[in-house]
Amino acid sequence: MHRFSLVIIAICLVLVLSLGTLSITACTRTAYQDSFWAMNTYMDLTVYGNKKVLAECIKLAADLDRKLSVTDPASAVYALNKQGTPVDDKDVLALAQAAVRLSETTDGAFDVTIYPVSSLWGFTKGDYHVPTEAQLAEALAKVDYRKIDLSNGRLALPQGNQIDFGGIAKGYLGDVLKRYLVAQGVKSALLNLGGNVVAVGSRPDGKPYRVAIKDPLGEGYVCILSVQDVNVVTSGLYERYFLQDGVKYGHIIDPFTGYPVNNGLLSVTVVGEVGTDCDAYSTALFVMGANKACQVAKALGLQVVMVTHDTLYVSATLADGIQYQGQYASYKVVTL
């Protein structure tokens, strides 16, 4: 072949190859976004390079919500709580197994059998009120994760004991969605599941995602974390609470007293690979209070950002890339 023709073919090949790469890059960088309501919260998903997966993600969230809801008479957990009907659904079993394991590692600060108490305060239906001591004692006697029976491939409870997956369900949903997206070949996605953020991979340009931790006292942010391929899960008093006689009662309950936690912590964020675990730990550390939570976070190797009125407790592994915002830039920082 003529040398000139060879050069032309070579140039064409380079052009075709680079155009191909360009269109692949452009395609994987296209952001597809959708938002919806599930598990009593607003969820927002951004997936890069694949629009089709969004609908399935929303369906997965709705399906899980339908199984776990404590207020929907059609849910498996509702039937378990109301009639003691054992559940053999695989998601419910996986959640219950994880819940028991995480109750053990947190010495019961996380206790998924909290439902008799959380419903007594009105946190499950929104009919908030302060119960009497007698009511509380009666409800508290029914809280004990060790009563959960997982034998014979199903979840069962003694009569009177009831389940509330509210402290762990969004974390589990994050794990389910991430597994599905990765199986579909998605390399980049940012899932905001109402206080639980899942960063799938890194940003399409290869840089880490910037995930902000909400200011528990106002509209702004405590700090911004640079993260990739992790969950950033926050428990906060500001999420759900009611006021009575000037006292603020939040939705996270101390399973040892039956009272909403009021120990000076304003928010607890846990960063880690398994959303289910991060979610249970954020709730449990919140129950423990700053001092015990610092010890436990260190002992278990958890990555945390914990906020009180004047101090931020931050794991050394997160401290490097963190950017404090507003008033929080002048807070005392204790590095764990």
User: Of these partners, ligand AMP, Mg ion, none, which one is at the site of residue 255 (CB under 5 to 8 Å by kind)?
Assistant: ligand AMP
Distance, in Å, from the CA atom of 231 to the CA atom of 269, rounded to the nearest integer, reads 10
User: Contact with ligand AMP (CB under 6 A): which of 251, 281, 297, 307?
Assistant: 251
Q: Tell me which of ligand AMP, Mg ion, none is bound by residue 172, counting a contact when its beta carbon lies within the kind-specific cut-off of 5 to 8 angstroms.
A: none
Pick one of ligand AMP, Mg ion, none as the site partner of residue 112 (Cβ within 5 to 8 A by kind): ligand AMP
Task: List C-alpha distances in Å: 309 to 215, 235, 240, 251, 303.
Answer: 11, 16, 19, 19, 20
Distance between CA 315 and CA 296 in Å, rounded? 12
Q: Strand pairing partners for 47?
A: 32, 189
Coarse DSSP helix, strand, coil percentages of the chain, rounded to the nearest 5 percent: 40, 25, 35
Q: Which stretch binds ligand AMP (CB under 6 A): 78-86, 147-155, 160-168, 321-329?
A: 160-168
The site partner of 164 among Mg ion, ligand AMP, none (C-beta below 5 to 8 Å per kind) is ligand AMP
Neighbours of 75 (CB within 10 A): 20
Residue 285 burial (CB count, 10 A) = 28
Q: Which of 44, 63, 65, 239 binds ligand AMP (CB under 6 A)?
A: 239
Q: Measured between alpha carbons, how far is residue 155 from residues 89, 93, 99 in Å?
A: 9, 6, 12
Q: Write out the binding residues for ligand AMP, residues 116-155 only, by CB under 6 A.
A: 118, 123
**Would you say 163 or 181 has its CB closer to ligand AMP?**
163
Give the x/- contact pattern for ligand AMP in 162-201, rule: CB under 6 A. Answer: --x-xx----------------------------------
The residues that touch ligand AMP, with contacts defined as CB under 6 A, are 110-112, 114, 118, 123, 164, 166-167, 235, 239-240, 251-253, 255, 279, 282-283, 287
